[in-house]
């Protein structure tokens, strides 16, 4: 994700006002690799700004998503959406026990599909999530 100044500049170019709440949400997201839920961001933000609403957080996240500054990761296991400030192509590892998400950098050029399998689709985005157990949780699960 860009730095805060770049986020502000891009949002302003697109006609969005930069409120103190939006600025704080940007600060929470910049260099955040925890893939937070909107509720996680709200819980951090309400300590700094008690009057902030969850709707403000969702609206700001939707704005950033529309501008291509963050990605949304839909997870099937806990039926939630997490937000990823890393928008370059990458995959994810998801721990079924602790719900942690880890970015995986790998070659995104070769999708491994034949032309017939693609069936004429023009692929513009790829998001793959692998489900399993992180090393810490594997150790915990071994002892129980």
In this model, does residue 3 exceed pLDDT 80?
Answer: yes
What span, in angstroms and rounded, lies between the C-alpha atoms of 85 and 33? 7
pLDDT in tens, 47-98: 999 999 999 999 999 999 999 999 999 887 777 899 999 888 889 999 999 9
pLDDT in tens, 108-140: 556 667 777 778 787 777 788 899 999 999 999
pTM (2 decimals)? Answer: 0.82
Residue 16 region, left (φ>0) first, then alpha (ψ -120 to 50), else beta? beta
The secondary structure element, H or E, covering residue 91 is strand 91-95
| Spatial CA neighbour of 71 closest among 40, 107, 103 | 103
With vertex at residue 125, the alpha carbon angle to CA 123 and CA 128, rounded to the nearest 5 degrees, is 110
Q: Which domains does the chain have, with CATH numbers?
A: 4-75 (1.10.10.10), 88-143 (3.30.1490.190)
């Amino acid at each position: 994700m860009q730095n805060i100044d770049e986020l502000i500049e891009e949002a302003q170019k697109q006609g969005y006002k930069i409120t103190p709440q939006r600025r704080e949400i940007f600060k929470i997201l910049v260099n955040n690799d925890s893939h937070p839920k909107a509720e996680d961001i709200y819980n951090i933000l309400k300590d700094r700004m008690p009057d902030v609403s969850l709707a403000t957080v969702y609206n700001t996240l939707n704005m950033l998503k529309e501008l291509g500054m963050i990605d949304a990761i839909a997870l099937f296991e806990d039926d939630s959406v997490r937000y990823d400030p890393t928008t370059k192509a990458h995959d994810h590892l998801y721990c079924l026990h602790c719900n942690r998400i880890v970015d995986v950098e790998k070659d995104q050029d070769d999708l491994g599909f034949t032309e017939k399998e693609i069936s004429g689709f023009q692929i513009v985005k790829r998001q793959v999530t692998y489900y399993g157990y992180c090393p810490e949780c594997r150790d915990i699960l071994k002892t129980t």
